[in-house]
């Protein structure tokens, strides 16, 4: 094994954490494994991890923790960090400290962002999902707006996956990314060999408070990357990220045009089921289109 300075805050009962650890080792690196629930990191180390991921709230795990009981959802960073030292289960996992930075490895392939080494071959996760050697799923940044707009434009101008008529410019797409990221919701991109090959995001299904735990997804793959596993990798990672953001149900709203059979198949393969259909509700290219609703519990 290659010996470099990589540390993972690991929970062996967490599948994402196990996958991240296995992926690190698959690159030839043997990391320092800290089972942080028993070997609680120092307050300064927790603060460093929080700063690296965007603050204490971004580091805090909600599911299966006393966050609600301790009323931490609206607390400031100092209160959250203090609670983490007393209740390390509040620290989201796995945190990975590598030679290229610090990352919360959700989805697990984000560990590759902070390593100097690459996967020598495709990596298969515990559930059978394959992480392609050169495919990275990561959060979108403002710099991704132009390639995202380029992927979306043909769907607007020629397809029925979206009922939008006018393709948004890169500046508008950057604003949309910011609006999704603002409340802590996920917008992910798939990157292969430095090129953006797809993107996916989840936002609250409706604005009213009762929908706060239900999200709607969108997944788009570049024309040259269809049937390459990008869509499935994105949607699987999005489900994980949406769950971490506090969502419990995910809805897909799919225009039922002839070209969207693949989208229905993708969602079915990822555990979604058809939950309803609206008939002749969308008019595009002079044709009336149905809308299929698909749903998955997170």
Longest CA–CA span in the chain (Å) reads 63
Among 100, 126, 108, 124, which residue's Cα sits nearest to residue 24? Answer: 108
* pTM, to two decimals: 0.61
pLDDT at position 2 is 46
pLDDT at position 77 is 93
pLDDT at position 256 is 75
Show pLDDT as tens, one digit a residue, over the chain (298 residues): 444 589 999 999 999 999 999 989 988 889 999 999 999 999 999 999 999 888 899 899 998 999 999 999 889 999 999 999 999 999 999 999 998 789 899 878 888 878 877 777 777 778 777 665 567 888 999 999 999 999 999 999 998 989 999 999 999 999 999 999 999 999 999 988 778 999 999 999 999 999 999 999 999 999 888 877 788 889 988 998 999 899 999 999 998 765 578 888 888 988 899 999 999 999 999 999 999 999 999 9
Query: Rounded to whole angstroms, how far apart are CA atoms 29 and 25?
Result: 5
pLDDT at position 130 is 66
pLDDT at position 219 is 96
């Amino acid at each position: 094994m290659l010996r470099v300075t990589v540390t993972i805050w690991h929970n062996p009962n967490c599948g994402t954490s196990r996958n991240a650890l296995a992926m690190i080792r698959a690159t030839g690196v043997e990391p320092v494994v800290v089972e942080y629930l028993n070997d609680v990191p120092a307050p300064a180390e927790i603060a460093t991890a929080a700063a690296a991921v965007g603050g204490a709230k971004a580091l805090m795990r909600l599911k299966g923790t006393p966050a609600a009981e301790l009323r931490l959802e609206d607390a400031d960073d100092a209160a959250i960090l203090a609670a983490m030292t007393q209740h390390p289960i509040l620290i989201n996992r796995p945190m990975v400290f590598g030679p290229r930075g610090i990352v919360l490895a959700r989805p697990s392939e984000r560990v590759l962002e902070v390593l100097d080494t690459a996967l020598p071959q495709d990596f298969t996760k515990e559930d059978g999902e394959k992480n392609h050697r050169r495919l990275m799923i990561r959060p979108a940044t403002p710099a991704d707006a132009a390639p995202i707009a380029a992927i979306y434009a043909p769907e607007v101008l020629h397809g029925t996956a979206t009922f939008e008529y006018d393709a948004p410019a890169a500046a508008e797409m950057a604003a949309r990314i910011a609006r999704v990221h603002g409340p802590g919701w996920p917008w992910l991109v798939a990157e292969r060999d430095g090129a953006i090959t797809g993107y996916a995001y989840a936002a609250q299904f409706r604005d009213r408070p009762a929908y706060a735990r239900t999200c709607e997804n969108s997944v788009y793959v570049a024309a040259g990357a269809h049937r390459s596993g990008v869509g499935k990798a994105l949607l699987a990672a999005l489900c994980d990220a949406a769950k971490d953001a506090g969502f419990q149900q995910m809805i897909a709203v799919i225009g039922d045009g002839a070209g969207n059979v693949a989208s229905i198949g993708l969602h079915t393969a990822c555990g979604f089921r058809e939950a309803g259909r609206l008939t002749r509700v969308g008019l595009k290219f002079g044709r009336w289109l149905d809308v299929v609703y698909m749903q998955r519990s997170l």
